[in-house]
Amino acid sequence: MTYRVEQLNENHNLANFRCGNNGLDDWLHDHARTATGQGTRTYVLLADDGRVVGYFAVAPHTIDGDALSGRTGRGAPRHIPAILLAKLALADDLHGERLGSELLIVALDTTVEAARRAGGKLVVVDAIDDTAADFYLHHEFETVPGNPHRLVRKLSAVARALGQPWP
Ligand SMILES: CC(C)(COP(=O)(O)OP(=O)(O)OC[C@H]1O[C@@H](n2cnc3c(N)ncnc32)[C@H](O)[C@@H]1OP(=O)(O)O)[C@@H](O)C(=O)NCCC(=O)NCCS
C-alpha cells in the first residue's frame, strides 16, 4: 500500500474516518472545513483507493516566552512566532505500523517549510491526553513548565533532523 498527503479539498470523504479518539474524529468530520476559513490548514493522508486514513492540521501561532523553559526561552521575545500542530491522527486499523511517525514527519516538514518562508521559531502541540504527550516526547518534543500536555520543539532542530536548510 502506498499513501499520499493532500491539502484538504471538497472531494475528500471525511465521514468514515476513525482514529480511536472521538474528539479528533469529530473535529475532522464537523470542523476541519470551517477551520480552513478561519486560518487553519488541514492535510489528509490518503490510501491508494482514496480513503482518508490520517490527517493533521496546522496554523500560525504565538507562544509566550515566559511560559518556556530556560533553555528554549532564553533570549526570546515576549511573543515568540510559532506554528501550532493543532491536530494529528491516524486511522485506528493502521496504528502500530509507524505510519503515525511518517505522518508526523510530513507535518513537521510542512511546519518547517511554512516557517522558512513566513517566520517561526517553535512548533507547538497540545496533546489530547498523556498517551499523545508521550508520543510527542518520544519524537523529541519537550513539555513547557506547568503544562504536561503542551509541548514544543525548535524549528531549527526539526529542520536539521529533516536535512532541510534553515532558515
Ligand atoms: C498517536 C498515533 C498518531 C501514533 O501513530 P502509530 O502509527 O500508531 O505509531 P506507532 O505505534 O507505529 O509508533 C511510531 C513510533 O512512535 C512511538 N510511539 C507511538 N505511540 C507512542 C506513545 N504513546 N508513547 C511513546 N511512543 C509512542 C513508537 O514507539 C514508535 O517509535 P519507533 O519508531 O522509535 O519505534 C496514533 O496512534 C493515533 O492517531 N492515535 C489516536 C490519535 C492521537 O492520539 N493523536 C495524537 C495527537 S494529539
CATH of the domain at 22: 3.40.630.30
User: Which stretches does DSSP call E strand in the chain?
Assistant: 4-7, 41-46, 52-64, 79-90, 122-126, 142-144, 147-154
Q: Is the dihedral of CA 118, 124, 125, 131 positive or negative?
A: positive
Strand partners, 42: 57
Residues enclosing ligand 1, CB less than 6 A? 19-21, 24, 88-90, 95-101, 127-128, 131-132, 134-135, 138
C-alpha 131 – ligand 1 centre gap (Å): 8
Q: Is residue 167 part of a domain?
A: no
Domain hosting 128: range is 4-162
- The backbone torsions φ and ψ at residue 119, rounded to the nearest 5 degrees and listed phi first, read 100, 160
First to last CA, the chain: 34
Rounded Cα–Cα distance for residues 133 and 148 (Å): 7
Ligand 1 centroid to Cα of residue 133, in Å, is 10
Tally Cβ neighbours within 10 Å of residue 15: 8
| pTM listed for this prediction | 0.96
The pLDDT score that the predictor gives to residue 75 is 80
Catalytically active residues are 136
Number of domains in the chain: 1
- Ligand 1, atom 11: nearest CA belongs to which residue? 96
- Indicate the top mutation candidate among 92, 135, 143 to test ligand 1's pocket, ranked by most ligand atoms within 8 A of CB: 135
User: Around 85, how many Cα atoms within 13 Å sit in the side-chain half-sphere?
Assistant: 31
d(CA 133, CA 125): 9
Q: Give the integer Cα–Cα distance in Å for 79 and 56.
A: 24
Digit-by-digit pLDDT tens for the chain (167 residues) are: 899 999 999 999 999 999 999 999 999 999 999 999 999 999 999 999 999 999 999 999 999 988 888 878 778 788 999 999 999 999 999 999 999 999 999 999 999 999 999 999 999 999 999 999 999 999 999 999 999 999 999 999 999 999 999 99
